[in-house]
Amino acid sequence: MMNPTPIPAGMAEPEIRRLPLPEDRDFFAHFPLALALVGRDGGLRVNEKYSALFDPAEIDGGALRHLTETPGPGWRKAGLRSRDGKIIEVHAQAVRLAAGTLILLADDHALTRDDELTHLRERITELEKVSATDHLTGAWNRAHLTRVLHSELSRSLRFRQPLSALLIDIDHFKQINDHQGHQAGDAVLCKVVELIQGKIRSADLLFRWGGEEFVVLAVSTRYRDAHTLAEHLRGLMAGHVFPHGAPVTVSIGVAEHNGQENVEALFSRLDAALFVAKNSGRNRVVTDPRGNSDNWAAEPAPARSLVWRDSNNSGHPQIDSEHRRLVELANTLNTAESAPPAAFDAAVSNLLQALAEHFTNEERLLETRGHPGLAEHRRTHATLLRKAAELRDSGGSLAAGDARRPLIEFLVNEAVARHLFSTDRGLFLSDTP
């Protein structure tokens, strides 16, 4: 094992590099299936095989439009009009990528011959290496976890927000494949992802680590709360009736970043916790009781100013102007921790009002662009505002002291720093003023 390399608290946050679009790679152009990439901006890019067979206008047709709106694992039948006007029956699958939604089109020949199918699976695996999602389950893939994790660790240290991870392993999964078949095993994997996605928060991230193992990054979450989440997930799996009928359980290891370790060391602790869970009878959660949250609880939390950098620009003038204003208001709130109640309440009100107005404006812009993720983004906005209101109400008179910290940290770190600098920024990167 390598020696742990801590990430200094003052270190500049590494930018998550946006991978080139798949069509920039030779294998996209020459992929054995017809491919179409519907970008976040609504733009369309197709490979050579698609261009030779189909009219790009078919993407706007009912079958494929529905597919782009509901991406997920599994092949679905669709009838597409070819270049010569004939209707061709194909099997279609939509895969979420960082750049947009990728549509794969295959004929019966490609999906019935073993040699063709083996080759196809190899090529999809290769395509996955430059994408962000696992083609079977729809969860983020391991390569995307590698890209995201360093940024999340840096943000955790900068804003003094805990970061926990859950390593989830499906118990006796090999027996499912051996006794029920690989189709049953694939169905279990997809259902496990569906159940986890329905339980975690919109801010949390689910990744397929490999095989039957998954990772949940629980942001702004102490190991104690991550343990509670893990127990909920464990109980959810144990109580669910899976398609193949046999019970399915999971073992889960939990750990919180301790501020003095690199990614390898963090996952070594996760592995150790999971090992204990599996060797103690399975269907249980084991948590490593160490993390930044205990250290930070014992010391005062210094006010940290948010800094606007050019890399935070989305490219949309209105959005960037509103983001800069929100950063200013967040910094004002951060310095008002010891202010009289009236001044503190004014700082909170100003930031909340600006957030609500920004969310409304942003949703209108996304609706105009036909953004496919608008409904989910609108729910995220509503959740942020509701949580902020709950924290404000729970503070009573908002007297100076520790009662103010949860509200300040949520508004500054979660609603502004995390949501605006990452989620919102990515929505408009490809737009032009």
- What's residue 21's pLDDT? 41
Tell me which of 50-54, 272-276, 310-314, 383-387 is least confident: 310-314
Q: Which of 88-97, 335-344, 422-431 has the lowest mean pLDDT?
A: 422-431
Domains: count for the chain = 3
Return the DSSP state at 31. Answer: -
With respect to residue 99, please indicate whether it lies within any of the assigned structural domains: yes
Q: What is the pLDDT of residue 268?
A: 94
Mean pLDDT on 200-208: 84
Question: What letter would DSSP give residue 45?
Answer: E
Domain final residue pick, 273, 297, 321: 297
- Containing domain of residue 50, as a range? 22-128
Residue 113 has pLDDT above 70, yes or no: no
Which of 421 and 356 is assigned the larger pLDDT? 356
Interatomic CA distance for residues 203 and 243, integer angstroms:
29
Residue 152, in any domain of the structure: yes
Contact 9, 89 (CB under 8 A): no
pLDDT bucket at 298, cuts 50 / 70 / 90: low
Contact between 185 and 251 (Cβ < 8 Å): no
How confident is the model over 114-119, as a mean pLDDT?
Answer: 58
The reply to whether 274 and 387 lie within a common domain is no
Is 212 assigned a catalytic role? yes
Any domain includes 14: no
Q: Are strands 250-256 and 213-219 parallel, antiparallel or unpaired?
A: unpaired
Are the C-beta atoms of 330 and 308 separated by less than 8 Å? no
Give the closest residue to 34 by CA, choosing from 18, 52, 19, 17. Answer: 52
Domain-located, residue 328: yes
Give 357-379 pLDDT, tens digit per residue. Answer: 998 988 888 888 887 778 888 88
Q: Which entry of 212, 261, 362, 414 is annotated as an active-site residue?
A: 212
Tokens standing for residue 39: 């970008």
| 364 within domain boundaries | yes
Tell me, what DSSP letter sits at residue 360? H
Which tens digits make up the pLDDT trace of 147-192? 788 878 887 887 677 899 999 999 999 999 888 888 889 999 999 9
Q: Where are any strands of DSSP class E within 126-276?
A: 163-170, 205-210, 213-219, 250-256
pLDDT band at residue 8 using 50, 70 and 90 as cut-offs = very low
Q: Is residue 38 part of a domain?
A: yes
One domain, residues 35 and 153: no
Centroid of chain to Cα 342:
38
254 pLDDT more than 90 = yes
150 with 290, same domain: the answer is yes
Confidence of residue 24 (pLDDT cuts 50, 70, 90): very low
CATH number for 114: 3.30.450
